[in-house]
Structure 1
Amino acid sequence: MRRRTMLGMTGAAAVGGAVFGAGPAAAHGRPRWLHTWVAMPQLTEPGNLPPAPFTGASSTLVDTTLRQTVHVTIGGSRLRVRFSNAFGGAALPITAAGVALPAGGQAGVSAIVPGTARPLTFGGRASVVVPIGAQVVSDPVDLPVASGSNLTISTYLAAGQETLNLTSHPGSRTTTYLTNGNFVAAPDLSGAASVAHWYLISGVEVPGTAPAIAIVGDSLTDGRGSTTDGNDRWPDQLFARRRRTAILNQAAGGNRVLNDGLGPNVLARLDRDVLATSGVDRMLIFEGVNDIGTAPATVADQKQVVDDLLFAFEQVVLRAHARDITAYGATITPFGGNTGYDDPDGLREQSRQAVNAVLRRGRLFDEIVDFDVAARDPAVPRQLNPAYDTGDHLHLNPAGYGALAAAVPLRWLS
């Protein structure tokens, strides 16, 4: 592992009793906030928009309460919530919002624990308008959340958002409830409509000093093949191995390193999803299969995508190190037999092997984890282990995600 040179003084240098370079938080003794949960914002595809009547001809979520649950990692006595309008086609007017503990501590439930509902404010105000492309952070609220617990976030939009370009995270694998009227503090939304998408929320923060690792990935990290409301994606199972580190899942199905797919490419979203995410001091990137799989199966095109991927990984590491963030990488898992990505001449498999060979030589990332070895069939290494295969020969089931989580060295989380 490369060791980066650290300056003898960080943050501030004391000269003659004066302190230079101390920011406002340091000067006033404010708490250090770190993310405990994130969801990568995306532009909602038409098929993932809220169902009728919550999507109209030109607007969304008019007179609508959203009730959503998220699975926090690091706990805390206080918290604050981030709402994103990154891809909104109009300003986002939030009329009211609140947090609570979900009934039974469960994910994807419509009821909350009586007495735990807390209103969210924004600069002391009950409502806020989020500009196009922006995000807002709520004021801190006193609501203790335990490490590895679930949290309910309820949001009400009286006027809705005057656009069909809505910011969401479609691959939530968690049930969200929608109903007309303001029911932010209601004890239960039984009978409400439901979908398995998150809308408008992008982060939860707590005060603390724990390590935080941002995981940049595609559907294999977003959890396709995992259990709805089960929180058994591989980052969830990694957190279960060490519950003192914030595990931040910045992945989206279909995401690519080089070109936009479902969501911006990695090089475009790295600043937002890693470098500017509060508390992050390390990252792990597990991507590349969609770049290889969508590039034409010709010798020239596959050589190009391999060269471009390796250059992109170098760029990721350079930008991470510039912010003193440790950069880990992961080898690309098999897709042999997948009808979309596996080609008859095996050119894409050769590209996967070429990228993995360079990663294993250890000259790109600070360290790598060999997910290829963890997930592959020992008898047919170009294919997934049958015990881990969802059946499409690309995505993993919860047992397969457990194998990935078990392969990550725990020292990376210390």
Structure 2
Amino acid sequence: MGRWVHTWTSAPQLTEPENLPPAPYAGRGPVMARSTLRQTVRVSIGGERLRLRFSNAFGGTPLPLTRVTVALPAGGRAGESAVVPESIRAATFHGRPSAVVPAGAQVVSDPVDLPLAAGAVLTVSLHLADGRAPEDVTSHPGSRTTSHLAGGDQTGSADLAGATPVEHWYFLSGVEAEAPAPLLALLGDSLTDGRGSTTDHNDRWPDQLFDRLGGFAIANQAAGGNRVLNDGLGPSALARLDRDVLALGGVRWLIVFEGVNDLGTADVDAQESVAADLVAAYEQIVVRAHAHDILVYGATLTPLGGHPYDDSRGRREAARQAVNAWIRTGDVFDAVIDFDRAVRDPAHPRRLLRACDAGDHLHLSPAGYRTLAHAVPASLLA
């Protein structure tokens, strides 16, 4: 028997009003009450059994899970609302079909017998009955994956009648597989969360890294808009490190690729100070991760030239260069992954290569994310 390792994760965030489910699922009364939420996720490593984690990290009241099932999606496709009927399995909690997740807590299901291949897509359906759901919903808005909402309890149905699509994940924060694989955790922002990637195609750079190398589990704990130093869209990286990385069992490596939002949202005249605070924060992350015997790899910050973050005096670009110089030469990280060098335009180093640019001059296209995936030396994950 292997040990339990996270084969898929999403960093919990407080759902902003614009990311709540559409009407009638977020109208008057409890959010998603008396409805079925069906979500698909792509796992990294496979296994014969799995466990689910549901988070109520930001809920002010308990979260009632009335019924939960897992299945394989029709055609094996992400974002698909239909499932293979004979693959449907009920998830239990201490042998019971339902569970209540306390405010601020998470719950782990009992093991479910459902063999999953490496890189397979899993469907998770949950039903919230009349129990009062939290007013504040815990989710992961940047799913880049289509979920579906439908009325009533359809968790055991192969097809969802009257389904409404929504591109967010709600409540589901982790899938574990019983396997002897090492775990790679990723701490990042929208560039690791996959903004600019293709909805339902799983072509973020972590997905493409797994496709390239395989053999290990990946916990993508990135959050769009996240910052290292200060809270913004979700708690800062410093604040969420324990929950999102150190609390995961069996982490062998951590890649830190975050900081551009700290520079981009800080005052132009404060860039030198922010850069100094960033490198001090990186050192704190390394110290805290080393206490758990985790190797920490630092990734250089990629170009922002032409994006609204860029300023006419070049202060933010100078700060980015200073941070990258420290990452490359500071001798604090166990290794350096030079994402900047991989995707910058040699003729205009403060800008992304055109083929890598998603169009806003900050986020990457699927081709750009492929370039990042290939910039990670295989030896670091051996």
Instruction: Give the TM interval when normalised to the shorter protein.
Output: over 0.9
Structure 2 residues not aligned, in runs of 5+? none
Deviations 1:268-315 (A, max 9, x none): 1001111111221110010000000001001xx111101110110000
Alignment-derived partner of residue 69 in structure 1: 40
Structure 1 residue 250 and structure 2 residue 221: aligned?
A: yes
2:356 aligned counterpart, secondary structure = coil
1:304 counterpart (273, 280, 289): 273
1:291 aligned counterpart, secondary structure = helix
Alignment-derived partner of residue 168 in structure 2: 197
How far is the alpha carbon of 1:56 from its aligned partner? 2.5
| Higher CA-based Rg | 1
Paired residues of 2:85 and 2:157 also in contact (CA < 8 A): no
Partner AA of 2:339 in structure 1: F
Alignment-derived partner of residue 411 in structure 1: 379
How far is the alpha carbon of 1:364 from its aligned partner? 1.7
Structure 1 residue 397 and structure 2 residue 365: aligned?
A: yes
Structure 1 residues not aligned, in runs of 5+? 1-29
Deviations 1:175-231 (A, max 9, x none): 000011000010011530010000000000011221110011000000000000000
Paired residues of 1:58 and 1:163 also in contact (CA < 8 A): no
Matches within 5 A, 1:36-55: 36-55=7-26
Structure 1 residue 368 and structure 2 residue 339: aligned?
A: no
Paired residues of 1:64 and 1:160 also in contact (CA < 8 A): no
Alignment-derived partner of residue 23 in structure 1: none
Across the aligned residues of Structure 1 and Structure 2, the Cα RMSD in angstroms comes to: 1.0
CA distance in 1, matches of 2:345, 2:120: 34
Partner AA of 2:274 in structure 1: V
Structure 1 residue 381 and structure 2 residue 352: aligned?
A: no
Stretch moving more, 103-112 or 182-191: 182-191
Paired residues of 2:339 and 2:375 also in contact (CA < 8 A): yes
Paired residues of 2:150 and 2:161 also in contact (CA < 8 A): no
CA distance in 1, matches of 2:168, 2:239: 23
Deviations 1:9-60 (A, max 9, x none): xxxxxxxxxxxxxxxxxxxxx7521000000000000000011111133520
Partner AA of 2:289 in structure 1: A
2:37 aligned counterpart, secondary structure = strand
Alignment-derived partner of residue 64 in structure 2: 93
Alignment-derived partner of residue 330 in structure 1: 299
Partner AA of 2:318 in structure 1: Q
Q: Identity rate of aligned residues, in percent?
A: 63
Alignment-derived partner of residue 263 in structure 1: 234
Count, aligned residues: 382
Stretch moving more, 51-60 or 303-312: 51-60
Deviations 1:89-140 (A, max 9, x none): 2100000001001111110001111200000000000000000000000000
CA distance in 2, matches of 1:289, 1:351: 10
CA distance in 2, matches of 1:241, 1:279: 22
Alignment-derived partner of residue 78 in structure 1: 49
1:313 counterpart (268, 282, 285): 282
Matches within 5 A, 1:108-187: 108-159=79-130, 161-187=132-158
CA distance in 2, matches of 1:59, 1:67: 18
Paired residues of 1:61 and 1:160 also in contact (CA < 8 A): no
How far is the alpha carbon of 1:160 from its aligned partner? 5.2
Structure 1 residue 222 and structure 2 residue 190: aligned?
A: no
Paired residues of 2:147 and 2:167 also in contact (CA < 8 A): yes
2:351 aligned counterpart, secondary structure = coil
CA distance in 1, matches of 2:187, 2:155: 32
Change (3 A) 1:59 1:217: same
